[in-house]
């Protein structure tokens, strides 16, 4: 899998001065577009679109410093319709505009070409099972929050606090399906960078009708990879997300598919026991 992923990375370099077609990259990697984007983001630490943008601006910077072509010619070559648009993008990455970079010969940022390799540490094992599940309903409340990589997410903490214990307890009483208990569902994530926005839903799987102060999310029939872990809270949960996409998926034949991921967490002091459900296809 990683060999084919690196072949896709080489294709990006070939297509940088034209159209980088994600469908083509996914076929080279032997996967679907959605899974390719998710796996790339998890492995690279930034969205595919951002990587392509930074590689183009790195190549453009080399041409700016060479002085052989006009700035407008360089801008058009790398997909910008005007000097102004090119200058804004150039400054966002390099900290200075292209004209200043050319005249003052200042050092610029560089996005190196990425290649991937799988590091097998061997110190821990990942426990998982595959579950087939028909369409079901989750009742609760949702919002949109920024992504936080390490430590508690303040936006989620405030959102759950705003729901209040009485409402959370009423949710728990509605739970009558698997996975049981309170769940955190996340979906529609913009990227993997700190601050990227995603949908967050706190609720329970239930066959009962939603109370008037709650809403219902319908989750379609799917196959799920279910991972379990236990350890210090919240690091263990965040490391589980990372390891699923950087170690488990590259080592298995399953691919993630669009749909909400579900997390059930039980906290005892500083220790968390968690179960993570991710929709997949083989």
Q: What is the CA radius of gyration of the chain?
A: 22
- pLDDT tens-digit readout, 202-216: 999 999 999 999 999
The mean per-residue pLDDT over the stretch 267-277 comes to: 88
Nearest to 121 by CA among 277, 35, 239: 239
The mean per-residue pLDDT over the stretch 70-95 comes to: 92
Contact 244, 276 (CB under 8 A): yes
**What value does the mean pLDDT of the chain take?**
86
Kindly tell me the burial class for residue 6, based on how many C-beta atoms sit within 10 Å of its own C-beta (0-12, 13-18, 19 or more): middle
* pTM of model > 0.75: no
Residue 57 binned pLDDT confidence (cut-offs 50, 70, 90)? very high
The Cα–Cα gap between 89 and 93 comes to 7
- pLDDT tens-digit readout, 235-249: 787 788 778 877 788
pLDDT at position 121: 47
pLDDT at position 189: 80
The residues near 220 (Cβ < 8 Å, ≥ 6 apart) are 135, 259
Domain boundaries 127-281, corresponding CATH code: 3.20.80.10
pLDDT at 124 over 80: no
pLDDT at 161 over 80: yes
Q: Which residues pair with 145 in a beta bridge?
A: 198
The mean per-residue pLDDT over the stretch 136-165 comes to: 89
Nearest to 187 by CA among 207, 217, 212: 217
The residues near 199 (Cβ < 8 Å, ≥ 6 apart) are 142, 143, 144, 185, 186, 187, 188, 189, 260
pLDDT at position 120: 46
If one compares 49 and 44, the residue with the highest pLDDT of the two is 49
pLDDT at 234 over 80: no
CA angle 34, 226, 230 (to 5 degrees): 120
Q: What are the phi and psi torsion angles at 87 (to 5°)?
A: -65, -40
- Would you list the DSSP string of 34-93? HHHHHHHHHHHSS-HHHHHHHHHHHHHHHHHHH-SS-HHHHHHHTT-SSHHHHHHHHHHH
Residue ranges of the domains in the chain? 2-104, 127-281
Kindly tell me the burial class for residue 48, based on how many C-beta atoms sit within 10 Å of its own C-beta (0-12, 13-18, 19 or more): buried
Domain 2-104 superfamily per CATH: Homeodomain-like (1.10.10.60)
């Amino acid at each position: 899998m990683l060999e084919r992923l690196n072949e896709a990375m080489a294709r990006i370099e070939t297509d940088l001065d034209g159209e980088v077609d994600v469908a083509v990259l996914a076929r080279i990697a032997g996967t679907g577009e959605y899974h390719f984007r998710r796996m790339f983001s998890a492995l690279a630490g930034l969205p595919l679109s951002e990587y392509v943008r930074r590689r183009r601006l790195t190549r453009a910077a080399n041409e700016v410093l060479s002085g052989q072509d006009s700035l407008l010619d360089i801008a058009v070559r790398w997909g910008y319709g005007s000097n102004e648009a090119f200058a804004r993008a150039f400054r966002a990455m390099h900290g200075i505009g292209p004209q200043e970079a050319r005249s003052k010969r200042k050092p610029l940022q560089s996005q190196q070409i990425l290649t991937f390799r799988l590091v097998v540490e061997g110190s821990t094992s990942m426990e998982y099972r595959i579950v087939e599940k028909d369409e079901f309903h989750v009742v609760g409340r949702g919002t949109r929050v920024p992504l936080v990589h390490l430590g508690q997410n303040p936006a989620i903490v405030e959102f759950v606090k705003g729901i209040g214990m009485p409402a959370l307890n009423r949710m728990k009483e509605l739970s009558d399906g698997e996975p049981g208990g309170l769940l955190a569902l996340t979906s529609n994530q913009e990227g993997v960078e700190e601050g990227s926005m995603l949908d967050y839903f706190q609720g329970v799987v239930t066959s009962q009708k939603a109370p008037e102060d709650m809403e219902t999310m319908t989750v379609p029939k799917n196959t799920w990879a279910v991972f379990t872990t236990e350890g210090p809270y919240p690091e263990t949960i965040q490391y589980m997300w990372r390891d699923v996409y950087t170690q488990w998926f590259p080592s298995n034949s399953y691919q993630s598919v669009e749909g909400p991921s579900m997390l059930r967490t039980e906290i005892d002091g500083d220790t968390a026991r968690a179960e993570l459900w991710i929709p997949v296809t083989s």
